[in-house]
């Protein structure tokens, strides 16, 4: 399935961008200065991400009949902005370029999630297909990571230029997606601005979003808080390790947890998403409590793995709920809204992670927040509302087959001299 190749290219490019920007913003300056630069990055590039829900979603709903070109445009736009960032690593122009890259990356994710039900093989459920795509993306990121580190020896700008090449290749793959990726042109054009219908409705949709948002905030907190703790040599029994080694352990644990989550859920079908999220939250709270009691690099690594695994499972549950419970004509907007809420949750958690407190105290605080989310999700899960695995509305749309007299769908052949029945 070419959609898997496209997602692999997107994730590989995003991984290279992360390596290039990390070398510029985080590792090249002292810890105190790095906190300020990371805070500025969150403020300038991620906080304005609220633009995604009111703008990008309706735009993508408007071009449902041209999803291949929308996906290709997100790839080409990222290639251009990454090249711009590579030439402006030491100027303020880096931050607007990084914001544009992030915006297009999430726009790609929204468009891909909306297109997935139309390319779904009959042998796979929505959750299995989404998990398989995520698995491909994680593997692609792991493959290009050593290449990015090697390219960074020549300078972070070369890592970003390599990412631009990967995004151009992704654009080519997007243009070669099957025609059924596109929906039929709508009879009425969706409004781009103004008051429209609510796209995130229903108890199950909001319940899974809240559970996933709590875990996404935990992920953002751990990613920044523990990396700064590692740079400052805060872990007992590992204080003599190089800071880069401790940072690598934290980052590898987060990445491995995400990878295992996607690998596991390629084989499982989520029927009760709130139960899955309750179990994920409870496991993370338990490991967080153990880490507070025995605080060292080993327990921190286990916590990072558990939180990343739980966050990955919760996100796949959200995707499955939206794909099944939201009508296709507003599905892109629904994914845009959900992506916005989840990225803002990550930003909120990451911002908390910049507060300079001791490791055990910080983990106790995030554990308390997760405990409250666990109780709330468990109460919501008491009402059974199982998924069936069938995308909402997509089965009702007519297939892309020629009409009468060989005309393409939605068109009629003009035959001079032949009178229609209406004229008779």
Cα–Cα distance list, 65 to 114, 327, 333 (Å): 12, 15, 15
pLDDT at 37 over 80: no
Average pLDDT over residues 60-67: 64
> Are the beta carbons of 334 and 206 closer than 8 angstroms?
no
> Are the beta carbons of 111 and 60 closer than 8 angstroms?
yes
pLDDT at 214 over 50: yes
Q: Indicate the pLDDT class of residue 258, thresholds 50, 70 and 90.
A: confident
The C-alpha atoms of residue 7 and residue 162 are separated, in whole angstroms, by 17
> Are the beta carbons of 273 and 387 closer than 8 angstroms?
yes
In this predicted structure, what is the pLDDT of residue 424?
Answer: 45
In this predicted structure, what is the pLDDT of residue 420?
Answer: 44
In this predicted structure, what is the pLDDT of residue 45?
Answer: 65
- Provide the 3-class DSSP secondary structure of residue 246: helix
**Position with higher pLDDT, 103 vs 157:** 157
pLDDT at 273 over 50: yes
Q: Indicate the pLDDT class of residue 181, thresholds 50, 70 and 90.
A: low
The C-alpha atoms of residue 352 and residue 342 are separated, in whole angstroms, by 15
Query: Angle, nearest 10°, between helix axes 2-25 and 31-41?
Result: 140
Average pLDDT over residues 74-84: 94
In this predicted structure, what is the pLDDT of residue 58?
Answer: 63
Nearest to 79 by CA among 188, 165, 138, 190: 165
Average pLDDT over residues 105-114: 79
Domain ranges of the chain: 1-180, 199-386
- Homologous superfamily of 1-180: MFS general substrate transporter like domains (1.20.1250.20)
Q: Indicate the pLDDT class of residue 252, thresholds 50, 70 and 90.
A: confident
In this predicted structure, what is the pLDDT of residue 195?
Answer: 44
Q: Indicate the pLDDT class of residue 220, thresholds 50, 70 and 90.
A: very high
pLDDT at 423 over 70: no
For residue 35, the tally of other CB atoms under 10 A from its CB is 18
66-102: b (≥16 Cβ within 10 Å) or e: bbbebbbbbbbbbbbbbbbbbebbeeeebbbbbbbbb
Quick: pLDDT tens for 329-357: 777 677 777 888 888 899 899 989 988 88
> Are the beta carbons of 307 and 284 closer than 8 angstroms?
yes
In this predicted structure, what is the pLDDT of residue 286?
Answer: 96
For residue 139, the tally of other CB atoms under 10 A from its CB is 16
% of the chain residues with pLDDT over 90 = 26
The C-alpha atoms of residue 301 and residue 237 are separated, in whole angstroms, by 13
Cα–Cα distance list, 373 to 30, 91, 250 (Å): 35, 41, 24
Nearest to 340 by CA among 111, 149, 4, 56: 56
Which tokens belong to 373?
């989310």
The C-alpha atoms of residue 28 and residue 22 are separated, in whole angstroms, by 8
pLDDT at 92 over 70: yes
Average pLDDT, the chain: 79
Nearest to 320 by CA among 223, 385, 403, 400: 385
**Position with higher pLDDT, 295 vs 414:** 295
% of the chain residues with pLDDT over 70 = 75
Quick: pLDDT tens for 357-381: 888 899 999 999 999 999 999 998 8
DSSP single-letter state for residue 196: -
Out of 38-52, 72-86, 287-301, which region has the weakest mean confidence (pLDDT)?
A: 38-52
pLDDT at 393 over 50: yes
pLDDT at 422 over 60: no
Give the DSSP letter string of 354-380. Answer: TS---HHHHHHHHHHHHHHHHHHHHHH
**Ordered alpha helix ranges (H), 266-296:** 273-293
Cα–Cα distance list, 380 to 13, 206, 215, 342 (Å): 38, 10, 16, 19
- Homologous superfamily of 199-386: MFS general substrate transporter like domains (1.20.1250.20)
For residue 381, the tally of other CB atoms under 10 A from its CB is 19
> Are the beta carbons of 86 and 164 closer than 8 angstroms?
yes
> Are the beta carbons of 220 and 345 closer than 8 angstroms?
yes
The C-alpha atoms of residue 21 and residue 160 are separated, in whole angstroms, by 8
pLDDT at 193 over 50: no
In this predicted structure, what is the pLDDT of residue 239?
Answer: 60
The C-alpha atoms of residue 374 and residue 284 are separated, in whole angstroms, by 10
Q: Which residues contact 146 (CB under 8 A, 6 or more apart)?
A: none
> Are the beta carbons of 166 and 36 closer than 8 angstroms?
no
């Amino acid at each position: 399935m070419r959609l898997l190749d496209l997602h692999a290219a997107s994730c590989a490019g995003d991984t290279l961008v992360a390596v290039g920007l990390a070398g510029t913003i985080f590792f090249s300056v002292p810890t105190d200065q790095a906190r300020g630069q990371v805070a500025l990055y969150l403020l300038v590039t991620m906080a304005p991400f609220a633009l995604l829900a009111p703008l990008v979603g309706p735009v993508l709903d408007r071009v449902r009949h041209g999803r291949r070109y929308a996906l290709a445009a997100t790839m080409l736009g990222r290639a251009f902005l990454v090249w711009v960032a590579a030439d402006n690593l030491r100027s303020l122009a880096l931050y607007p370029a990084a914001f544009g890259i992030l915006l297009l990356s999430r726009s790609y994710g929204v468009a891909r999630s909306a297109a997935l039900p139309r390319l779904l093989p009959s042998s796979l459920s929505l959750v299995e297909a989404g998990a398989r795509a995520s698995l491909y993306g994680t593997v692609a990121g792991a493959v290009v990571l050593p290449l990015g580190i090697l390219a960074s020896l020549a300078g972070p700008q070369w890592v970003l230029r390599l990412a631009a090449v990967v995004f151009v290749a992704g654009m080519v793959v997007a243009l070669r997606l099957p025609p059924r990726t596109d929906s039929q042109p709508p009879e009425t054009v969706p409004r781009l601005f103004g008051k429209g219908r609510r796209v995130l409705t229903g108890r199950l949709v909001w319940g899974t979003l809240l559970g996933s948002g709590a875990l996404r905030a935990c992920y953002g907190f751990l990613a920044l808080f523990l990396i700064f703790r590692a740079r400052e040599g805060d872990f007992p029994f590992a204080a003599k390790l190089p800071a880069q080694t401790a940072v690598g352990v934290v980052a590898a644990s987060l990445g491995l947890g995400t990878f295992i989550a996607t690998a596991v859920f390629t084989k499982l079908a989520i029927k009760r998403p709130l139960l899955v999220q309750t179990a994920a939250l409870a496991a993370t709270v338990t490991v967080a409590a153990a880490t507070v009691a025995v605080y060292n690099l080993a327990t921190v690594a286990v916590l990072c793995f558990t939180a990343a695994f739980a966050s990955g499972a919760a996100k796949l549950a959200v995707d499955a709920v939206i794909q099944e419970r939201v009508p296709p004509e507003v599905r892109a907007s629904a994914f845009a809204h959900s992506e916005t809420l989840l990225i803002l949750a990550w930003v909120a958690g990451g911002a908390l992670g910049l507060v300079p407190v001791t490791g055990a105290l910080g983990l106790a605080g995030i554990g308390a927040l997760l405990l409250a989310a666990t109780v709330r999700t468990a109460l919501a899960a008491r009402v059974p509302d199982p998924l069936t695995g069938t995308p909402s509305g997509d089965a009702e749309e007519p297939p892309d087959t020629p009409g009468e007299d060989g005309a393409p769908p939605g068109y009629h052949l003009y035959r001079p001299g032949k009178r229609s029945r209406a004229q008779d």
